[in-house]
Amino acid sequence: SSPLLSSPLLSSPLLSSPPPPLLPLLSSPPSSPLLSSPLLSSPPPPSPLLSSPLLSSPLLSSPPSPLLLPPLLSSPLLSSPLLSSPLLSSPLLSSSSLSSPLLSSPLLSSPLLSSPSSPPLLSSPPLLPPPGQSLEDPLVIFGDVAVPSGLENADPCTARQCLWPKASDGNVYIPFRISNQYCKYQQSRDTITTALRSFSQSTCIRFTPHDRQRDFVNIQSLGGCYSFIGRRGRSQTVSLSRRGCVFPQIVQHEMLHALGFNHEQTRSDRDQHVRILLNNVIPVDLSYQRINTNNLGTPYDYNSVMHYGRFAFSRNNQPTIVPIPNPNVSIGRATQMSPNDILRINRLYGCSE
């Protein structure tokens, strides 16, 4: 207890045991940035470096943070208009607001738009063209067929002269105009013009750019895919919405309507080839009414580009059309005009076959 033995010298770390802490700085919780760094302290306290965004990024952190989710799945892309707005919830694909005429047509069940295991995309009745899109007459749209009011219960093409005139050289020239709505969508324009040219490869139909002719086909991107049956006179609207209608077989389908052809499943002899399950069909849709058609001596064609798919216009996800006698025959899956489609054009318009 003498001053010598209790002096700082004898109680220093070199002489005393057990040694007390060297210095307050080293024994107390580190407080300075230098001594609390990973190099001097163990276990290392969370330093700015270890808690920074860099070390907690998906590449360096474990367990993975929410950022480890692929950016594509957690980013605004999936909530963007392209995937969650008009495109997937548009009339073309689901809700009643988008119950646009054609996603009920044969092309809804084509390989591009549906599969045998999934019902067609349309689940609501077809509507008139959207507000502000006026056509020449009031319309009722059945499936993808536009019918002037008052002719709902008649075949518009047999109720009047509906063929396009034949020129002296044996060809049928049909002027067309593509709306400026497609100006920024060159691929859509190319798809449309290529499909129109396909008619000239196997028939006498020639779609030509409009040049002051009185009667012409006016191709627009309206609320779905639809057309009148046959020639109406003056500007005749064919709607090919950019959101779901610009495919080669759909363009051909709508142009066949404009040439005067009805759907295959409405043929006068259809009951010998398909069974229509009206209990499964959307009530207001009349696309399945049998018509006293001129079949031009051609057989019923399950492969026609004009044939509806198995689930078209279903109100309960059950089939609306079943082939007979073999219910497993594929229908509504054409990707282009069938040989019978081409033969009928040539016979109706007197082209050389």
What single letter denotes the amino acid at residue 282?
A: I
Q: CA–CA separation, 221 vs 85, rounded Å? A: 18
Q: ∠ CA(60), CA(61), CA(62), 5° rounding?
A: 130
Residue for token pair 């349309």: 122
How far apart, in Å, are the Cα atoms of 139 and each of 143, 144, 252?
12, 12, 22
Specify whether the backbone of 244 is left (phi greater than 0), alpha (psi in -120 to 50) or beta.
Answer: left
Residue 273, annotated ligand binder? no
Residue 263, annotated ligand binder? yes
Q: In what order do the strands lie in the sheet with 145-148?
A: 139-142, 145-148, 225-228, 235-240, 216-220, 172-178, 205-209
Residue 210, annotated ligand binder? no
What single letter denotes the amino acid at residue 340?
A: N
Q: CA–CA separation, 92 vs 241, rounded Å? A: 9
Nearest to 311 by CA among 270, 281, 275: 281
The catalytic position among 136, 152, 254, 264 is: 254
Cβ atoms of 194 and 200 within 8 Å: the answer is no
Q: CA–CA separation, 45 vs 30, rounded Å? A: 9
**Is 254 assigned a catalytic role?**
yes
Q: ∠ CA(23), CA(26), CA(29), 5° rounding?
A: 125
Residue for token pair 């449309």: 192
Cβ atoms of 287 and 262 within 8 Å: the answer is no
What single letter denotes the amino acid at residue 294?
A: N
Q: What is the greatest pairwise CA distance in the chain?
A: 135
Q: Which residues are catalytic?
A: 254
Binding-site residues for Zn(2+), please? 253, 257, 263
Q: Which residues are annotated as a binding site?
A: 253, 257, 263
